[in-house]
Structure 1
Amino acid sequence: MDLEKIAQDLRLDILRMFYLSGTGHMAPALSCVDIFTTLYFGDVISWDERFSEDRDRVILSKGHACAALYAVLARAGYFPREELLTFYQKNTHLGGHPCVALHGIETATGALGHGICFATGTALAAKLDEKSYRTYVVMGDGESQEGSVWEAAAFAANQGLSNMTVVVDCNGLQASTYIDDISPIEPLKNKWQSFGWAVLECSGHNFSELLHAFGRAKEMDRPTVILARTIKGKGVSFAENNPAWHSRAPKGAEWDKICGEYHIEKEELTHL
């Protein structure tokens, strides 16, 4: 598959969601689009089993970035793409954080640090039941300030959960500013290694590197974390690496600039 083309189409779907809703966390979603594109369309998850009990589990721990996951799930056939146009609106299944009422969502997330904890349960269940499915978690680097993340990391290593892969969306920002201005978390590689995890590093926007990392993770004899270096707001020039864009959607003339960057007409954001 042409992962670059798919990711670009997914970004357009995400932009449509924010154009119609006028609210939500756009920049965190754009940060992890390429990670989810690789997971679902790069032959990483067990595609043919994705609707069965033996499916690989994919959990978005940084739940506020759910627009990226919604766009991917719709493209992967979990629900009609038309539902994307209801994002963050009344009576929608596509709220501002993931809910299990939506097909393809394994658990509700939003309280940071909880998704990875839930994931240790699904990974342990697979091990105890002698099932082959894997558990994947996408979490934020700002989320790594939560103590529960490290409790889960210690538990997973202690239980030998080699069927668990965590991807840290390392964009260097959190809700209000840069991580280093609040509570620095580096060196993440050394920290995860000290908890007994295999650590891989790559660009979170380079599909060759992402595919290589996911492939290596399947070969490890311990839980693996992929530190994926990303740009928050990727694909919208004035939102990239800009703390002001954590929890807002573009307005007015900002949409004109986005449409210019994507070479589309604004009307194209109103329909699929």
Structure 2
Amino acid sequence: MSTIGFIGLGIMGGPMAGHLVAAGHEVTGYNRSAAAVEKLVAAGGIGAGSVAEAVDGKDIVITMLPQDEQVREVFTEIVRHAKTGALYIDFSSVTPQTAEWTATEGAKRGLRVLDAPVSGGEPGAVNAALSIMVGGSDADFQAAEPIFAAVGKTYELVGPNGSGQVVKAANQLIVGGTYALVAEAIVLMESLGADAAKGLDVLAGGLAGSKILELKRKTMLERDFQPGFRIDLHHKDMGIVTQAAREAEVTIPMGALTAQLIAAARAMGHGSLDHSALLLVAEALSGKTAPTPTDEADA
């Protein structure tokens, strides 16, 4: 079993750190929110008061942070305090450029580096069923397999450093596009008088079936958008997608449209909701939103 410093104990990182404790690893966690650290301690982990304290002397250092700026800031602290030869795993979703930067800077300090963004949202983190796409060397991937096995169901080495983030961008492209189409299908069925619940049941069992239909059709129909993965974060990820496509000189018209729909959801004030709230955008575009009290008074 390894000693692990885990930075970022939020909606995803907290459950993941807990699974590593349950697997027998010694996990020291740090988060800006003291409550998140206390939750890890209650699960059998160790609390730290700083990044330096969390990573000092650890075999493995892990980050799970919202975006590039936080990863770069925390990694600057990690390279100052982690021991030579430590394995650094970044589960965050960031740009390939940031992943390559951590690999280059880490190598200068004797760290082994993997970028390992995940898919599966909060349910995947809670149930240790994440899909993990990993960039780095084969030797480092093999060393990290016990970590991946504790928090995920599927994990693959997809190329050198930065490749994990490229595959994650592709994942977010597909997920966002699928949510947009499911949202339109719901609006279409409801508007034409079909039983949308039964309709989605049928669709989920056929060629149109997807993980999104399997896991989200009921909550979407109920307009329950409690965040498993927020619109704000998917908006950030679609920025990574469009930037990567431009740099690769790849045309992604469906991806560009999906990015705009997610941006619209954010502009409408839905950034804190689950990305399934693209249904609200589809409704608004079709004039199907419920009238506000002001609208009713005007009528």
Q: Same fold (TM over 0.5)?
A: no
TM-score (norm 2): 0.35
Higher relative contact order (CA 8 A, sep 6+): 1
Larger radius of gyration: 2
